[in-house]
Amino acid sequence: MYNREHLLEAAGTPMPLTETEQSVLMRIVDRHAADATQLVQILREVQASFRHIPADAMDSLAAALGIERAQVQAVAEFYTFFSTKPRGRYDILISDSITDHMLGSREIAAYLSERLGIQPGETRSDGQVSFDYTSCTGMCEQGPAGLVNGLTLTQLTRERIDRIVDLVNAGTPVTQWPREFFAVKDNIRRADLILKTELKPGSALKWSNTRGADSTLAEIEKSGLRGRGGAGFSTGMKWKFCRQAKSGPADAPAERYVVCNADEGEPGTFKDRVLLQSYADQVFEGMTLCGRVIGARQGYLYLRGEYLYLGDHLDRVLQERRRNHLLGSNILGEPGFDFDIEVRIGAGAYICGEESALIESLEGKRGVPRNRPPYPVTHGYRNKPTVVNNVETFAAAALIGLKGGAWFADVGTEKSKGTKILSISGDCAKPGIYEYPFGTSIRKILDDCGATNTLGLQIGGPSGIFISDREFDRVLGFEDLPTGGSFMIFDRTRDILEIVRNFTHFFAHESCGFCTPCRVGTSLLRNQLDKLCAGHGAKGDLVELTHISKLVKNTSHCGLGQTAANPILSTLERYPELYEQRLRAKAFEPGFDLDGALEVARRMAGRDDAHAHLEQEAVL
């Protein structure tokens, strides 16, 4: 007969929270006004306080927030920075981006692992420390980088690892660690329109108050500004659509939102980080301007979890702006111009950069992209008309609000007006931030940053394309080479397949899992490429690789899946010989590792002799 008590016992009933723990939990909930849309923020704090999301806390949170327990669990299990098992008091993550690899991150991580005596993904038995890899942390030009308890570590060396291990073992609070471990530099190497033009806080808003919202929108349209986050949609048009969209019943007050996409998850991109660090006022001014144009009263800046260290700084800038009447009610004395901005922080999910997934995350859910249409301009945050723009787009919009559309449209090319800020990393003498007018050639950029012996570069991040040394006369711009800003340079000492493998692993790790082709296909691609790189690939495997790549590209639900095979497809096209060199002279070799599958049996039998191994037959 079935016996519930017995089953529950077998499942391991979780430890109930103590009274103190319960009150810590409720204080967190109170800080967020028991608002279920802030679930990601709440879980961030629970993770920080409890080092995991205890099963019991899920029940309490669900009850306190008036949502289902399953939603709390589903969110807790979606984001990389949450865990349901306790992590160490010091939670160390090493950035696993290709540019970090090139700066020696794998060796550094191996050394850390050895010094701590734990493998990636493990927590030391004393509960003091855990260590793992994580996707690009956006410190590409000052790596190897990592995070400790969510805070950015840069320029890791063996010597620094030694000191970190000592601090961990001594139990020194992270707040007392040497400041230089956390130093993040701007490294601005070339400034143009956006980075050079001074904007006094409030000046664009003042101008806008004088000439009115219609005329401000007209200037944005005239500028020809297109989104800087990747897709390149006309910003003026987006604002106009949102402004025109019905926000609900005619008698209800209009409800619209402005969202700044500061998720910056594309590996190799770090220009938004610099804008937020040193041009935050300009970004907020752009958001406020947008609020005025579309008639929104609330804005959100969705900051990627990896940039936690920027949170306090951004809050301070917001506070300063409120003091100066640049936020709040009747901004700069204009009656009815009410707008405020809140920073919301993510928790480790590249997909939350996709605008509709970002909105889901803002609403306290898993970051799964929505079906489109409808688009966020009509059905965004809380299903209300919402403008989502990239950080750089808002920074540009603020200046256009001040200087006018013509000022901006004067620069660039026919279809790509203005400038683009690039994050340059990889093999060059002067990596960092470079702002160029659209239409600039790759050759000029490579010259400027001191790249020599260049094999090729990845433009637009893993979701962009790989271009070879035969294509350096191509130019920046939506007509030729669009980019969200990632520009990773590789010289001739680098192994292209290793680069592709890193990117392919990235996508498999970051796929949200909603749609079949991407959920399954990105893992198939990863396994297929691993097989090839391990020297087990046969001719059939190349055909298969192309086949899966096209399938994932053509049938996936969102941009992640649609671009996940780009690294493979763009290098297969340019360097087919590199792939062929890795093949065995066979038509077929099974993907199934027969000998590997016997590993468990060998361990159980305590055997490792020759007879306990099987050589796999290949089909010639």
Using CA atoms, how far apart are residues 313 and 194, in angstroms rounded to an integer?
21
Question: Binding another protein by CB under 8 A: which of 49, 73, 187, 234?
Answer: 73
Task: Tell me which residues in 548-577 interact with ligand FMN (CB under 6 A).
Answer: 558-560
Cα distance between residue 563 and residue 550, in whole Å: 10
Name which of residues 7 to 26 contact another protein (CB under 8 A). 7-8, 11, 13-14
Contact between 70 and another protein (CB under 8 A)? yes
Which residues 348-367 are close enough to bind another protein by CB under 8 A? 349, 366
Binding mask 545-574 for ligand SF4 (x = CB under 6 A): -----------xxx-xx-------------
Comparison of 4 and 611: residue with beta carbon closer to another protein: 4
Residues 495-534 that bind another protein (CB under 8 A): 508-517, 519-524, 527
Task: Closer to another protein by CB, 185 or 509: give it.
Answer: 509
Residue 610 as a binder of another protein (CB under 8 A): the answer is no
User: Residues 355 to 414: which contact ligand FMN by CB under 6 A?
Assistant: 355, 388-390, 393
d(CA 178, CA 481): 42
Q: Name the residue among 91, 75, 84, 120 with its Cα closest to residue 12.
A: 84
Give dist(CA 507, CA 251) in Å, integer: 46
Q: 3-class secondary structure for 173-227? A: CHHHCCHHHHCCCCCEEECCHHHHCCCCCCHHHHHHHHHCHHHHHHHHHHHCCEC
Q: Candidates 40, 199, 421, 512: give the one binding ligand SF4 (CB under 6 A).
A: 512
Count, residues near ligand SF4 per rule CB under 6 A: 14
Interface residue with ligand FMN, options 100, 264, 427, 544 (CB under 6 A): 264
Q: Does 513 bind ligand SF4 (CB under 6 A)?
A: yes
Q: Which residues pair with 495 in a beta bridge?
A: none
Nearer to another protein, 460 or 521 (CB): 521
**Is residue 26 exposed (0-12), middle (13-18) or buried (19+ Cβ within 10 Å)?**
middle
CB of 265 vs ligand SF4, minimal distance in Å: 12
**How far from 14 is each of 8, 11, 64, 605, CA to CA, in Å?**
10, 9, 19, 34
In the list ligand SF4, another protein, ligand FMN, none, the entry touching 282 (Cβ below 5 to 8 angstroms by class) is: none
- Cβ atoms of residues 104 and 144 within 8 Å: yes
**What 3-state DSSP class applies to 345?**
strand
Cβ 202 vs Cβ 331: under 8 Å: no
Distances (CA, A) of 560 to 452, 522, 548: 32, 10, 15
Tell me which of another protein, ligand SF4, ligand FMN, none is bound by residue 305, counting a contact when its beta carbon lies within the kind-specific cut-off of 5 to 8 angstroms: none
The reply to whether 416 sits near ligand SF4 by the rule CB under 6 A is no
SS3 468: strand
Contact 419, 436 (CB under 8 A): yes
Q: Which residues bind ligand SF4 (CB under 6 A)?
A: 351, 369, 511-515, 518-519, 556-558, 560-561
Q: Which residues bind another protein (CB under 8 A)?
A: 2, 4, 7-8, 11, 13-14, 55-56, 58-59, 68-71, 73-74, 77-79, 349, 366, 371, 373, 508-517, 519-524, 527, 547-548, 551, 554-557, 590-592
